[in-house]
């Protein structure tokens, strides 16, 4: 089984209060057998001067859903911390709600690698990311 701990979406979203996730309106919406899914509603705070979404915003979304998923895949007493993230921006975003799905590529003893795909409301791929985390003692 992928998840080593139960995931309560209400508690998870509540834990994001007062963080960058709350500021950027990132919300976890679904847990699947092998994936964690979150959304981000795009607004003015996500824009760069050209009035399209700043690439850093989609990177925050990808790292948030990847790191959060990773932390539910480790035993008690261990935590996952970001080691590297790569993101390719494929299409500009001006408005709407983005959906990010994180699925594992590698679940090792000391590292994990996650694939994150971000889609717009028309289900068009907006960005793809690969996120590597290190597993450390808490």
Distances (CA, A) of 85 to 7, 12, 39, 105, 111: 24, 22, 19, 14, 13
Taking only the tens place, the pLDDT of each residue in 76-102 is 999 999 999 999 999 999 999 999 999
Mean pLDDT, the chain, rounded, equals: 97
Tell me whether residue 91 is in a domain: yes
Q: Show which residues are catalytic.
A: 63
pLDDT bin (cut points 50, 70, 90) of residue 1 is confident
Number of structural domains (the chain) is 1
Is the C-alpha dihedral spanning 95, 98, 81, 79 positive or negative? positive
What's the predicted TM-score (pTM) here?
0.96
Please check the confidence at residue 67 and state whether its pLDDT lies above 80. yes
pLDDT bin (cut points 50, 70, 90) of residue 28 is very high
Tell me whether residue 1 is in a domain: no
CATH number at residue 28: 3.10.129.10
């Amino acid at each position: 089984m992928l998840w080593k701990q139960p995931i309560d979406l209400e508690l998870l979203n509540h834990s994001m209060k007062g963080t960058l996730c709350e500021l950027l309106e990132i919300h976890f919406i679904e847990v699947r057998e092998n994936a964690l899914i979150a959304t981000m509603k795009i607004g003015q705070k996500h824009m760069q001067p050209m009035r399209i979404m700043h690439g850093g915003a989609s990177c925050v979304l990808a790292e948030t859903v990847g790191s959060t998923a990773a932390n539910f895949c480790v035993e008690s007493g261990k935590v996952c911390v970001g080691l590297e993230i790569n993101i390719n921006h494929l299409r500009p975003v001006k408005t709407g709600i983005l959906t990010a799905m994180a699925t594992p590529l590698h679940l090792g003893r000391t590292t994990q690698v996650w694939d994150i795909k971000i889609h717009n409301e028309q289900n068009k791929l907006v960005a793809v990311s690969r996120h590597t985390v290190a597993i450390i003692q808490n």
